[in-house]
């Protein structure tokens, strides 16, 4: 398990890594404090650690509509920049 100290969207992180399954340990507030590979995941923890360092969690309920996404792309904003505008 890799200790984490930032917001983690486990489903999103799994897709960013290798989509073979991740598991995590939650604190009392529902925040991930550690993330690891599931038994069936053939990945490497050092690679996972690198992905975690780059990971920017996006809330599941905050999704772009197709029109909004197109406008944001036309403006040249990243998803993180757009999220700052709408949060």
CA-closest candidate to residue 3, choices 29, 31, 28: 31
Determine the pLDDT at residue 2.
97
Q: Does the structure show a pLDDT above 90 at 83?
A: no
Tens of pLDDT, residue by residue over 18-52, are 999 999 999 998 899 999 999 999 999 999 999 99
CB-side neighbour CA atoms (13 Å) of 27? 11
């Amino acid at each position: 398990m890799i200790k984490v100290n930032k917001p983690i969207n486990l489903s999103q992180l799994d897709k960013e890594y290798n989509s073979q399954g991740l598991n995590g340990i939650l604190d009392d507030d529902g925040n991930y404090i550690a993330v690891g590979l599931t038994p069936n995941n053939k990945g490497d923890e050092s690679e996972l650690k690198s992905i975690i360092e780059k990971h920017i969690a996006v809330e599941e309920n905050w999704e772009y509509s197709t029109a909004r996404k197109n406008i944001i792309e036309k403006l040249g904003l990243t998803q993180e920049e757009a999220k700052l505008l709408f949060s």
